[in-house]
Amino acid sequence: MSRPLGRLTGIFKGIADGTKPLNQDIPVQSKDEIGELIVSFNQMARHLYEAHEAMRKQTETLKTIFEGISDPLALIRPDCTVELTNNAYREWMAKGIRAVFKEKCNPESCDPDTICPVCFIKRLKDEKRPISEYWEDEEGRHYYIHLYPVFDDRGEVIKAVHYVKDITERRQVEEQMRIAEKLVAIGQLSAGLAHEINNPLGGIRLCFNNLISTEMNGEARQKHIEVINTGLQKIQDIIRQLLDFSKQTELVMKPESVNNMIDNVLRLTEYILTKKGIRVIKDLGDNIPEIMADRNKMEQVFLNIILNAIQAMDGSQGTLSIKTLIENGRCCISITDTGPGIPQDILPRIFDPFFTTKPVGEGTGLGLSVSKSIVEQHKGEIKVITSEKGTTFTVELPVRQ
Ligand SMILES: Nc1ncnc2c1ncn2[C@@H]1O[C@H](COP(=O)(O)OP(=O)(O)OP(=O)(O)O)[C@@H](O)[C@H]1O
Ligand SMILES: [Mg+2]
């Protein structure tokens, strides 16, 4: 009796310390209680083995997924030490990229110039909700940094999933889209610009011919020279405006008057508006405070919306109404046309890049997507209301604090 039991205990110990496999049946040598015990044990061991295998496979799949994610991903403990990392995260750690946690971050040495992991974890513990931060490093790379809380049964944050997305390329594409859109807008304005340059040029030529071919007294001469000078000045202004507009610039935020920006854009579009017989109704508020804005970029937004309005009213001699006012502490600029409106089925897509209903060569479909991104960079919103009687685009911008 004691010998088979002793042998059995030996096998159990071997399984427990991992020296004997779970999936090997113990031979049944007798038909007594010990034999039955071995049969039940074999059954239990088989179940255990299967469960163990399923768990191992599941862990392996999860690990493959975790490692296969090409963006850095890690599990962080509340004391700012790193518990688990994927390959991309480890590579970033090795390169010393500051968007990721170091293996252990020192709560004493909080660096205010970078996304401080310590403060980040502190905020996560307090706020108990996912945190996302945009961050640009000293080499000019752009990141989106996410921290997702992992809770225990009592709702306390016990860990954090750290996910980092390098959005540098996306930012570059967006910037290129902005430039492309500017060039398209310039193309659309070219008829008006040619006209604006041609007008003073006509005067210059006439005065120049008079000067060289006619005898004239000092006063007449002076007048002619003045006309030439003013004309050249005007051309220079137009070209400077164009160059300003097409320059690839970072946001330059300054206190600016929205009404001035509208007037500038209307000056640029005056020629097309008159040519198409479009009436303009301006209702610009008197007491609009200056807002912090990049004048060039915001003017591009108004220009895109006005060009769309003009195109929507093509051939219908409509009315373009522009209104500026302060509402709920925000500066609102509404641009309304009397065009046919935007069909409901395409409305959700008008802000998508490259979405256009215009024939090839007439629209690139970038105008509104670029405008939206500029307005969002200004922490504002762009809204649209449309019916078959016309469309209103409203840009809402925060008033300067
Ligand atoms: N005021 C409007 N009235 C009617 N439809 C409009 C109006 N504004 C925009 N849309 C619709 O939204 C689409 C997208 O506009 P968006 O300005 O982004 O591109 P686009 O004008 O087609 O081309 P782009 O501005 O790049 O030359 C337009 O093609 C048009 O169908
Ligand atoms: Mg457009």
Whether ligand 1 lies within 6 angstroms of the CB of 312 is answered as: yes
Tokens coding 137: 């490093």
The β-bridge relationship of strands 291-293 and 319-327 is unpaired
Ligand 1 nearest atom to the CA of residue 351, by list position: 18
Domain termination residue (choose one: 66, 89, 110): 66
Closest C-alpha among 241, 239, 246, 244 to residue 200: 239
For the residues 4-15, what does the mean pLDDT come to?
A: 80
Tokens coding 226: 């003045």
Q: Same structural domain for residues 284 and 202?
A: no
Q: Which pLDDT tens digit goes with each residue over 275-316?
A: 899 999 999 999 899 999 999 889 989 999 999 999 999 888
Ligand 1 nearest atom to the CA of residue 339, by list position: 3
Whether ligand 1 lies within 6 angstroms of the CB of 333 is answered as: no
Q: Same structural domain for residues 274 and 187?
A: no
Domain termination residue (choose one: 225, 248, 271): 248
- Per-residue pLDDT for 13 more than 90? no
Q: Same structural domain for residues 298 and 235?
A: no
The dihedral of CA 248, 251, 256, 259: what is its sign? positive
The dihedral of CA 351, 355, 359, 364: what is its sign? positive
User: Using 50, 70 and 90 to split pLDDT, how confident is the model at 132?
Assistant: confident
Q: Same structural domain for residues 60 and 137?
A: no
Q: Running DSSP on this structure, what letter comes out for residue 351? A: T
- Per-residue pLDDT for 252 more than 70? yes
Q: Same structural domain for residues 286 and 383?
A: yes
Give SS3 for 333: strand
Do residues 261 and 332 make contact, with C-beta atoms less than 8 angstroms apart?
A: no
Complete DSSP assignment for 27-79: PP--SSHHHHHHHHHHHHHHHHHHHHHHHHHHHHHHHHHHHH-SS-EEEE-TT
The domain spanning residue 233 has which CATH number?
Answer: 1.10.287
The dihedral of CA 231, 237, 239, 241: what is its sign? negative
Structurally, the chain folds into a number of domains equal to 4
Domain termination residue (choose one: 213, 248, 283): 248
Q: What contacts 185, CB < 8 A, 6 or more positions away?
A: 245, 300, 303, 304, 307, 367
Q: Which pLDDT tens digit goes with each residue over 139-180?
A: 788 888 888 999 999 988 888 898 988 888 888 888 788 777
How far apart are the CA of 358 and the centre of ligand 1, in A?
8
Domain that holds residue 390: 251-401
**Which pTM does this prediction carry?**
0.57
The domain spanning residue 352 has which CATH number?
Answer: 3.30.565.10
**Which residues are placed with Cβ below 5 angstroms of ligand 2, an ion?**
308, 367
Q: Same structural domain for residues 401 and 273?
A: yes
Whether ligand 1 lies within 6 angstroms of the CB of 351 is answered as: no
Whether ligand 1 lies within 6 angstroms of the CB of 391 is answered as: yes
